Amino acid sequence: MAVPKRRMSRSNTRSRRSQFKAAPITLSVCANPACRAKHPSHTVCPECGQYGEKDKMRQVIEVEV
């Protein structure tokens, strides 16, 4: 495993970390043709309660009205 030869200065560490920032989450469009709502990928759609790929959508949770 590669190991750093020299300790990185506090200044260098802090200037690198100053670039760390939160990125907005990317939303995917629901594959349910009747829904098409935007939701985070790899999650159950909160609008219709379905999950899966196109043509493989299945009802995972029941959505309360």
**Residues making contact with Zn ion (CB under 5 A):** 30, 32, 35, 37, 45, 47-48
Q: Which of 11, 19, 15, 59 is nearest to 35 (CA)?
A: 59
Q: At its nearest, how many Å lie between Zn ion and the CB of residue 24?
A: 21
The radius of gyration computed from the CA coordinates of the chain, to the nearest angstrom, equals 21
Rank residues 8 and 60 by Cβ distance to Zn ion and give the closer one: 60
Rank residues 2 and 34 by Cβ distance to Zn ion and give the closer one: 34
Q: At its nearest, how many Å lie between Zn ion and the CB of residue 23?
A: 24
From CA 16, how far away is CA 20, in angstroms rounded?
8
